[in-house]
Amino acid sequence: MTETTGFGTRCIHAGEAPDPTTGAHGVPLYQNVTFAFETYGQVAGMRSGERPHFTYSPRGNPTVRCLEVKLADLEGAESAIALNSGMAAISTALLSLASDGGHIIASDQLYDLSHALLANELPAFGASATFVDLTDPVAVERAIRPNTRAIYAEPFSNPLLRVTDPRPLAEIARSHELLLVMDNTFLSPALFRPLEHGADLVIHSATKYLSGHGQVQGGVIAGPRRLIEPMRARALHLGNAISPFAAWLLLAGTHTLPLRMERHSETALHLARMLERHPAVAAVHYPGLASHAGHEIAAELVGGSEGRFGGMLAFSLRDGEAAVPAVIDALELCTIAVSLGDCSTLAWPWHTGGLIRMSIGLEDYADLERDLLGALGRLSPAAAAD
């Protein structure tokens, strides 16, 4: 699509066109594994690069390719690779950068499986990681080693929504010839595009907001072609190819991405403000709140005073961990479940500190407010009288 085409239009049209053979509107699902050649000459042309041709679905599939073109467009990247899970994307990217004895500087607040990969699996490949507060440039500089390859961050951390500004990290990365890699799962390209703020690579668990319906698993890496193509080869060797059916579902999910993210964000902000006033709540972690430590930076990153801050929030209870079961068990509309980015609201009791993480869905705000107020009201008469 052209640079002037709106983001919502690109979500629908980028990487897609009517099928040239049948005229089908929308990308067909090419569920087959292998692709036929008519002559040896076609095979030779494919091998020489003179005549591109799909061969074997793990090496490339028409449905998957359309998804990759769309996701690269949405992130403003030269290229993208779609993989079979978010962790496939994270592991492929980080192992490609560091598995030959490299070092990664990573945020000390990360998705738990990302942290485990860096802390427990990288050493088996001769690599290592150092975890620091990436909001502290001095700490980042001190962590750099001669073999450091990249800085790895989440713009809004999981689960506490700490805001990491990519701009100073990008300056540090450039001055030391490092790469800045950002996991943008919590925000999606509808709200934030890390490459526009100095990042070199962006990763998504497409299972979440890009899908939007909790029905498909996938992952994405987007960035310059010189970095993506070696990762594509590694992903093939590791067996991380996404299925055509998953890619087809993700294509459908992207069509409504900006509309969903707007609704997720609006409802989450309303609920965060309600929770902040509630006597049973000790703290609310949501960058859209003026009281949040990272609010000003977050507003700059996602669009100023009119910005949308995503659908993820977390809150801790004044009575601590002992109060969590009563609240969780009293929820009726909100589903007790892990993951995020679904149309329905998901609540998950964190393992420490009386913290509850919520992925706010697309239900009516009044219904979600009533459900949360009812659950919090189980804690004490004072809470019920909010």
Residue 355 confidence (pLDDT): 97
User: Is 304 a residue whose pLDDT tops 80?
Assistant: no
Q: How far apart are the first and last CA of the chain?
A: 50
303 — pLDDT class (breaks 50, 70, 90): confident
DSSP conformation letters of 344-380:
S-EEEE-SSTTEEEEE--SS-HHHHHHHHHHHHTTS-
Q: Up-side HSE of residue 82: CA atoms within 13 Å toward CB?
A: 32
Over 80: is that where the pLDDT of 386 sits?
no
Query: Cα separation of 66 and 16, whole Å?
Result: 6
- What is residue 383's predicted lDDT score, i.e. its pLDDT? 43
Phi and psi angles of residue 72, each rounded to the nearest 5 degrees, phi first: -60, -45
Nearest 5 degrees, angle CA 312-CA 91-CA 169? 65
Average pLDDT estimate for 221-240: 96
Which residues are CB-contacts of 218 (< 8 A; sequence separation ≥ 6)?
82, 83, 84, 85, 86, 205, 206, 207, 210, 211, 242, 246, 247, 250
What dihedral angle (degrees, nearest 10) is formed by the CA atoms of 203, 209, 210, 216?
A: 100
Instruction: Detail the DSSP E strand segments found in the chain.
Output: 79-83, 103-107, 128-132, 148-153, 179-183, 201-205, 219-223, 281-285, 312-317, 335-336, 346-349, 355-359
Mean pLDDT of the chain: 94
**pLDDT score of 380:** 63
The token pair that represents 258 in the structure block: 């900006």
Domain ranges of the chain: 7-30+61-255, 257-378
Work out the average pLDDT over 207-232: 97
Q: Does the predicted TM-score (pTM) go above 0.85?
A: yes
- CATH fold label, 257-378: Aspartate Aminotransferase, domain 1 (3.90.1150)
**Could you tell me what percent of the chain has a pLDDT over 90?**
91
The band of 384, judged by pLDDT with boundaries at 50, 70 and 90, is very low
Q: Please determine, looking at this structure, whether the domain spanning 7-30+61-255 carries the CATH number 3.90.1150.170.
A: no
What average pLDDT does range 98-115 have in this prediction?
96
Q: How confident is the model at residue 147 (pLDDT cuts 50, 70, 90)?
A: very high
What distances in angstroms separate CA 184 from CA 39, 262, 285, 291, 334, one per listed residue? Answer: 44, 16, 18, 23, 24
For the chain, state the CA radius of gyration. 22
CB contact set of 1 (below 8 Å; sequence gap of 6+) = 9, 10, 13, 14, 73
